[in-house]
Amino acid sequence: MKKIDLLIEAIKEKKSHVVVGLDPKLEEMPKEFMAKAKEKKLSLSEVIYSFNKEVIDAVYDLVPAVKPQVAYYEMYGLEGLLAYKKTIEYAKSKKLIVIGDIKRSDIGSTSLAYSRAHIGSVYYNEKKVNDFAVDAVTINPFLGSDTLKEFEEDMTNEGAMIFVLVKTSNKSSGELQDLESGGKKIYEHVSKLVSDMAKSHVGINGYSGVGAVTGATYKEELINIRNLMPRSYFLIPGYGAQGGVASDVVGGFNKDGLGAVINSSRGIIYAYKKYGKGIKESSRMAVIEMNRNINKALLEADKIAWK
């Protein structure tokens, strides 16, 4: 089965459109947690992995997917990337869809190497190498459609998904993405590339494995983008710490109550700062609250995916 269908199945089963962003930063982690890690003489990879494991254990039954942001693992070098690998494996063992937030892309043959690295595999001495293999990745479209197409072979073989950056959640995203050319904004041109490619990867639920990243911080654009890419699932970042709220993201959903997953990272994994409890309890509370708020907003907009 395609990963897009597994995602939709998990959304309906768990009644949740929430993705938990796993963005480990040592200085954001609870002091007691770090002190205990030092006492136990944990390696850097063990610290990061054990933090993520606490979060995953607390939320895996409540959400369909997690999204490790690879930048926060690369920052910690080889140890960080070992934690990335172990985090992916653990999340998969808990039946979570794993979205690798990699925002890669390059010219043809190099884009293919990124595809092999993150959704496919290679072989050395007849042994499969796929340390970083996830179910879905994010892709930067600046180099054009040929760089996106290099992911299609692995998408087909693995049933994997890609989410193409269309309109990002940061302040300066408009500098290029909002420029107008031929009566259409650049992000609308990107939407066209995505919707063209999406046609070939539609699953049994009518949604495509070719999705889009569209920030929660630009509410009006979101509604526009929804119409431009009817078959694409949206990955919506920017909720919580970046300022997006439940009513902002409703426009990303279709009438069937599907079409988008909403990511929150800091708002969940560092929720101990808000709730004053441990990592597990706080992150679980944050997810329950986020699920409730999003589902309430969708109910009010008459966009319900389950009875």
Given candidates 51, 132, 239, 272, which one binds its own copies under the rule CB under 8 A?
Answer: 132
DSSP character string of the chain:
--HHHHHHHHHHHHT--EEEEE---GGGS-HHHHHHHHHTT--HHHHHHHHHHHHHHHHTTT-SEEEEBTHHHHTTHHHHHHHHHHHHHHHHHTT-EEEEEEEE--SHHHHHHHHHHHTS-EEETTEEE-TT--SEEEE--TT-HHHHHTTHHHHHHH--EEEEEEE-SSGGGHHHHT-EETTEEHHHHHHHHHHHHHGGGB-TTS-EEEEEEE-TT-HHHHHHHHHH-TTEEEEE--BSTTSB-HHHHGGGS-TTS-SEEEEESHHHHTTHHHH-S-HHHHHHHHHHHHHHHHHHHHHHTT--S--
**Region 243-302 residues binding its own copies, contact defined as CB under 8 A:** none
| 51 near its own copies (CB under 8 A) | no
CB of 67 to its own copies, least distance (A): 12
Q: Among residues 165 and 262, whose Cβ is nearest to its own copies?
A: 165
Given candidates 32, 180, 256, 300, which one binds its own copies under the rule CB under 8 A?
Answer: 180
| 144 near its own copies (CB under 8 A) | yes
Enumerate the active-site residues.
Answer: 103
Q: Among residues 122 and 223, whose Cβ is nearest to its own copies?
A: 122
Which of 52-60, 185-193, 255-263, 281-289 is the region at the interface with its own copies (rule: CB under 8 A)? 185-193
| 204 near its own copies (CB under 8 A) | no
| 145 near its own copies (CB under 8 A) | yes
Which of 1-9, 51-59, 124-132, 253-261 is the region at the interface with its own copies (rule: CB under 8 A)? 124-132
Which of 7-15, 155-163, 175-183, 296-304 is the region at the interface with its own copies (rule: CB under 8 A)? 175-183
Residues that bind its own copies (CB under 8 A): 23, 25-26, 38, 44, 47, 69, 71-72, 74-82, 85, 101, 103-108, 110-111, 113-114, 116-118, 122, 124-125, 129-132, 140-147, 165, 168-177, 179-182, 186, 189-190, 193, 237, 242
